[in-house]
Amino acid sequence: MNKETKQTKISELGEFGLIEHLTRNIQLKNESTLKGVGDDAAVLDYKNKLVVVSTDLLTEGIHFNLMYVPLKHLGYKSVVVNLSDIFAMNARPRQITVNIALSDKFSVEAVEELYAGINLACEKYGVDLVGGDTTSSLTGLTISITVLGEAEKDDLVYRSGAKPNDLLCVSGDLGGAYMGLQLLERENKVFKINPQMQPQLEGYDYILARQLKPEARGDIVEAFKKLCVKPTSMIDISDGLSSEIIHLCKNSGVGCNLYEDKIPMDYHTKKMAEELNINPIVAALNGGEDYELLFTVSLSDYEKVKNDPDFTIIGHITDAAEGTNLITTGGSKILLQAQGWNHGNTE
């Protein structure tokens, strides 16, 4: 928090004043939002569409560290991680509600920064902030966001639909968010020992953005529509590829072969891994927070997906009896381990 600018105590506005202040400029964008903030409840009309709901809870010290996460980025990311869950159902997000608990170290200006990030994400993804709750806390900041989305019944994609011989695919590239976190933690340690040292973050933009300002892959859901592809199963990658593949296979009652040499990784991710002496494959498999989509498509859709620059085919689905395997670059077959990304051991 910047000490130069004036810090207003939340008690000067009071809880209602704060809510009014934070929500005064909201302009509703979606047809399905009949009533947003300002009454006892929001009113939504999804007509004959199905409603998809997901929620996430983030606590200071467990899921984020305000030593190196700017509040605006935190607000943005809190929304994005929720939207990612809706896209992973092949659905479209429409509304969010935001619950926050604040300790008295937070000023009005600090909460404004958080909301600047929340509003930016709402703007970018076309969702309406339609309500929330605000309370005080003795232990720092807690944010819980709930997102509502819509889909036609036939468009919904579950974790449970993968079939043997389906292609296993992923969007974007993996491991970047984890390498960004390693960099931030390294610089934070240096800063704690010597507060005069400026953090060395130049040249690391890509992995820092992957950690601090991830995007949810709504563009992939639009791409499916355009290509006339409906994945047979899908999940978003919040905990690392390995753990998500295991979830997907377990839910679908299948096994898989994942090829190490096919896992997409950015040059900057590999470079940082080398600098920190970490195997980049480990970052992709067991890191987390990439918020890419992992999905399966029927083999008959191969022609449609093979040349799309947004997707990479990383393996195929097998019978459950074969297990969930990683085929290494050297050709050995090893069982995937569910070493999910656990934020200091509590999920």
Binding region for ligand ADP (CB under 6 A)? 16, 19, 22-23, 37-40, 98, 100, 129, 131-134
Shortest CB 250 distance to ligand ADP, Å: 36
Shortest CB 76 distance to Mg ion, Å: 24
List the single partner that 37 binds among ligand ADP, Mg ion, none, CB under 5 to 8 Å by kind.
Answer: ligand ADP
Residues 217, 92: contact at Cβ < 8 Å? no
* Residue (133 or 152) nearer to Mg ion, CB: 133
* Residue (133 or 205) nearer to ligand ADP, CB: 133
Cα–Cα–Cα angle for 334, 338, 344, rounded to 5 degrees: 140
Q: Which two tokens stand for residue 252?
A: 């679908």
* Residue (79 or 184) nearer to ligand ADP, CB: 79
* Residue (132 or 161) nearer to Mg ion, CB: 132
* Residue (123 or 133) nearer to Mg ion, CB: 133
For helices 205-212 and 267-275, what crossing angle results, to 10°? 100
C-alpha span between 230 and 298 (Å, rounded): 9
Q: Which residues have C-beta within 8 Å of that of residue 63, sequence separation ≥ 6?
A: 343
Shortest CB 14 distance to ligand ADP, Å: 11
List the single partner that 19 binds among Mg ion, ligand ADP, none, CB under 5 to 8 Å by kind.
Answer: ligand ADP
Instruction: Match 């896992």 to its residue by tokens.
Output: 263
Q: Which of 314, 249, 251, 320 is nearest to 285 (CA)?
A: 314
Decide if residue 347 touches Mg ion (CB under 5 A).
Answer: no
- What mask of x and - would describe binding to Mg ion in positions 131 to 150, judged by CB under 5 A? --x-----------------
List the single partner that 267 binds among Mg ion, ligand ADP, none, CB under 5 to 8 Å by kind.
Answer: none
Shortest CB 231 distance to ligand ADP, Å: 34
Shortest CB 133 distance to Mg ion, Å: 4
Q: Which two tokens stand for residue 286?
A: 């067991």
Shortest CB 216 distance to ligand ADP, Å: 20
C-alpha span between 185 and 231 (Å, rounded): 37
List the single partner that 280 binds among ligand ADP, Mg ion, none, CB under 5 to 8 Å by kind.
Answer: none
* Rounded alpha-carbon distances, angstroms, from residue 340 to 108, 171, 172, 186, 289: 36, 19, 19, 21, 10
Cα–Cα–Cα angle for 63, 68, 70, rounded to 5 degrees: 85
Cα–Cα–Cα angle for 160, 161, 164, rounded to 5 degrees: 115
List the single partner that 38 binds among Mg ion, ligand ADP, none, CB under 5 to 8 Å by kind.
Answer: ligand ADP
* Residue (129 or 285) nearer to ligand ADP, CB: 129
Q: Which positions lie near Mg ion, rule CB under 5 A?
A: 133
